[in-house]
Amino acid sequence: MQRSCEICHQTKPAVKRPKTGQAICKPCFYNCIEEEVHYTIQSTNLFHRGETIAIGASGGKDSTVLIHLLHLLNQKYDYGLNLHLLAVDEGIKGYRDDSLEAVKRNQIKYSLPLTIVSYEELYGWSMDKIVGKIGLTNNCTYCGVFRRQALDKGAKMIGAEKIVTGHNADDIAETVLMNFLRGDHFRLGKCTEIITGEEGNMPRYKPLKYLYEKEIVLYAHFLKLDYFSTECVYSPNAYRGFAREFLKELEKVCPRAVLDIIHSGEMLDVNTNPPDKLTCQRCGGVSSNKLCKACLLLDKLNE
Ligand code: SF4
Ligand code: ZN
């Protein structure tokens, strides 16, 4: 490693940045991460003064870093945002109960309001009960559909204009690969965008879209942020796991691969006309049919 930080030339470097290979000190590393996210927010005009923002908080590293950064930048650059934590309780013992404790500790640390919406309350079914009924196949389909709608409902309860999520560069690159491999041109054209779901009522924003997962882990670790790092006990997700392994192998040969894949996705000119948007006749949620996916899945469970 270099004798002094390649940015400030003052102190000894503490980290070799996975994204750039630069050897830099901790304060310069923090500064890089914070300024990069600030730049992403400013250059894409992501937020407007006075808005209420629901931060999707899972207790994991990504959303914890997201809370920390938005809280910090909102003060430092006077964004004038009302930040509100929004957590979803899927009802998974040994996973979500513990990670929600981390969310609650962060609520106190950053003095932010917190709303928790649960599957049990919204649907009458926790994930533990769902897995008890259907077993370990398709459980993530139920969970994903229910989570999307739970976040929508929670954000509406809060009076938020938008939901921000902690998706990082690696997540997005993986999603590009998965959509490409599946030939899902609609999602392939959409998945690299910093704002998604604008056709619905509650758009999702991803301010960490250019941050590498490794740098998020380092940032959280150096700053001793309080997060929970266990995988969901029902997680199979074999397809994403394969894309993840493949990406990690590519990254070993070329660290830029993560950003290159995102850029490739951004430059693709594919058909992204969304399916027609309707309102679910039963629950009023966003749907492309008479009944939304959540209501269809609930019917199956209640059969
Ligand atoms: Fe839900 Fe599947 Fe994620 Fe577990 S791994 S939280 S079941 S989507
Ligand atoms: Zn430095």
Residues 216 and 62: beta-carbon distance below 8 Å: yes
Query: Per-domain residue ranges for the chain?
Result: 48-272, 276-303
List 117's β-bridge partners, or say none.
88
In terms of Cβ atoms closer than 10 Å to its own Cβ (0-12, 13-18, 19+), residue 226 is middle
List 16's β-bridge partners, or say none.
23
| Per-chain residues with Cβ under 5 A from ion ligand 2 | 5, 7-8, 25, 28
Which residues are within 8 A (CB) of 59 and not within 5 positions of it... i.e. 6 or more apart? 87, 98, 99, 100, 101, 102, 103, 106, 227, 228
172 vs 155: CA distance, rounded Å? 23
Amino acid 99: pLDDT: 93
Of 52, 47, 43, 7, which is closest to residue 27 (Cα–Cα)? 7
Known binding residues for ATP are 56-58, 62, 88, 166, 171
CA torsion sign for 172, 173, 179, 183 is: positive
Alpha helices in 159-226 (DSSP H): 169-182, 185-190, 213-222
Of 237, 241, 100, 267, which is closest to residue 170 (Cα–Cα)? 241
pLDDT digits (tens, 9 = 90+) for 84-126: 999 999 999 999 999 999 999 999 999 999 999 999 999 999 9
Q: Is 82 in the pocket of ligand 1 (CB under 6 A)?
A: no
This prediction's pTM: 0.91
Which residues are within 8 A (CB) of 268 and not within 5 positions of it... i.e. 6 or more apart? 188, 189
- The one-letter amino acid code at 30 reads Y
Which carries the bigger pLDDT value, residue 287 or residue 246?
Answer: 246
pLDDT digits (tens, 9 = 90+) for 200-252: 778 999 999 999 999 999 999 999 999 998 888 898 767 788 889 999 999 88
292 vs 261: CA distance, rounded Å? 32
Cα 126 to chain centroid distance, Å, stands at 22
Q: Residue 275's pLDDT band (boundaries 50, 70, 90)?
A: low
Question: Could you identify the residue written with the tokens 């999520």?
Answer: 165
Q: Is 144 in the pocket of ligand 1 (CB under 6 A)?
A: yes
CATH topology (fold) of 48-272: Rossmann fold (3.40.50)
pLDDT surpassing 80 at residue 162: yes
Q: Residue 271's pLDDT band (boundaries 50, 70, 90)?
A: low
- The one-letter amino acid code at 71 reads H
Q: Whose CA is nearest to atom 5 of ligand 1?
A: 235
Amino acid 2: pLDDT: 62
pLDDT digits (tens, 9 = 90+) for 21-50: 999 999 999 999 999 999 999 999 999 999
pLDDT surpassing 80 at residue 269: no
Amino acid 272: pLDDT: 59
